Amino acid sequence: MDVSLRLAQQPDADALLSRSPLAALVGMLLDQQVPMEWAFNGPWTIARRMGDDDLDAHRIAAQDPEAFAELLAAKPAVHRYPASMAGRVQKLCQYLVEHYDGDVTALWRDADDGRELLRRLNDLPGFGKQKAQIFLALLGKQLGVTPDGWREAAGGYGEEGAHRSVADITGPESLQQVRAYKQEMKRAAKKS
């Protein structure tokens, strides 16, 4: 991948996200109930703690679950719920090994269209429709993965010029725009 993601807002973590499709996918998995930067810093922290400069689905899938949970729980913890998220990361990697021989790019490499890619993403452990649509939008907007119909399959997250999710973050200014959008959505939800 020849891209420059800025989701963790930390150079080393962002460099890993930019070169590693698995790191980007794991960051997306971790992106819940913690600040986005914390979630997307997680893959870099995991790789460092495993003594690597990248993530390997086969290696993570084969880890002892308790040892892997301890790795994520070490201070500073990778996530607010490190044991739970360790299990989710391992399940995701086990699924990738079982269905795609650990090659994340196989998720999209031969997808017929955006709907097919969305279905594949939605089938991933820990990914519901919204998370799958956001990751699809990230793939299309920033990673050059643009099968026919990807914007439609990504829903509102695929809209050009939107500032709704991590798919739209390219630096500090767009991060603030996404945060403002999310705060507005929370206010609107409270009013209804």
Please write the tens of the pLDDT for every residue from 125-154: 999 999 999 999 999 999 999 999 999 999
Going by pLDDT thresholds of 50, 70 and 90, the confidence category of residue 189 is: confident
Shortest CA distance to 133 belongs to which of 154, 115, 161, 158?
Answer: 154
**62-71 pLDDT tens trace:** 999 999 999 9
Measure the CA–CA gap between 184 and 23, rounded to whole angstroms. Answer: 29
What three-state secondary structure class fits 75?
Answer: coil
Q: Are 52 and 44 in contact (CB under 8 A)?
A: no
Question: Which residue do the tokens 């999209």 mark?
Answer: 108
- The pLDDT assigned to 115 comes to 98
**77-111 pLDDT tens trace:** 999 999 999 999 999 999 999 999 999 999 999 99
Measure the CA–CA gap between 20 and 12, rounded to whole angstroms. Answer: 12
Measure the CA–CA gap between 29 and 169, rounded to whole angstroms. Answer: 17
DSSP 107: H
